[in-house]
Amino acid sequence: MEYLDVVDENNNLTGQVVDRNTAHKELLYHRHVSCWIMDKKGRVLLQQRALIKSNNPGMWAKTGGHVDSGETPIDAVKREVYEEIGLVIDEKCLTEVAIYKSQRPTSAYFTYNYLLVQEIDIDKLVLQKEEVESVKLFEIEELIEDKKKNPQNYTFSKWKNEEFDAQMNLLKAAREKILKE
């Protein structure tokens, strides 16, 4: 059973701990992590969600998940990335980008969004079959175009256009920085 810390609507810990199902069912604010992973060539690694997942099966997504009770968001993102794709995060290559508060009436969470830029050998990744069907490195422009043509393939197609554009601009800026080094 996965246990989560409950936070208030300002993202302050309340001291309450509940199981994941209760948090979702009762719309109790809790924390998630989400990570854009970029290799040293400026390509974005996405994971295809396992076909057996109840939410968004087979869709391409960033790596992430819940912050367990007592865990920091940094520890959670390191754990999630390792559990789901077998990549050990070099913490000096990890940047917190933003914290987003869910805006839908059917959800209550804060997502800590990270950017990881480090070398990736895709052939050495170990995928957690219950979570991940496959992984792929995308050029940013390829991702933008394919999302327009096939929005059903991406979890972030549900985002508002300006949110998606802001995230793509963040990735482009990171790529520019990498390619200048």
pLDDT band for 160, please (50, 70, 90 cuts): confident
Q: Indicate whether 103 pLDDT > 90.
A: no
Average pLDDT, integer, range 45-49: 97
Q: Indicate whether 159 pLDDT > 90.
A: no
Q: Are 136 and 45 in contact (CB under 8 A)?
A: yes
- Residue 171's nearest CA partner among 122, 92, 115 is 115
Residue type, 26: E
Enumerate residues 6+ apart whose C-beta is below 8 A from 82: 88, 89
Q: What is the pLDDT of residues 84-102, one digit of tens each?
A: 999 999 999 999 999 999 9
Q: In this predicted structure, what is the pLDDT of residue 118?
A: 95
| Whole-structure pTM value | 0.94
177's torsion region: left (phi>0), alpha (psi -120 to 50) or beta? alpha
Q: Are 32 and 111 in contact (CB under 8 A)?
A: yes
Q: What is the pLDDT of residues 110-150, one digit of tens each?
A: 999 999 999 999 999 999 999 999 999 999 999 999 999 99
Residues of the domain holding 17: 3-180
Q: What is the DSSP string of 57-71?
A: TT-EE-EEEEPBTT-
- Residues of the chain with pLDDT > 90, as a percent, come to 90
Please provide residue 117's backbone torsions phi and psi, each rounded to the nearest 5 degrees. Answer: -120, 110
Q: Are 114 and 90 in contact (CB under 8 A)?
A: no
Alpha-carbon gap, residue 121 to 142, rounded angstroms: 20
| CATH number, domain with residue 26 | 3.90.79.10
- Residues of the chain with pLDDT > 70, as a percent, come to 100
**Helix or strand (DSSP H, E) at 84:** helix 73-85
pLDDT band for 7, please (50, 70, 90 cuts): very high
Distances (CA, A) of 20 to 59, 64, 93, 143, 165: 22, 15, 30, 31, 31
As for how many domains the chain has, the answer is 1
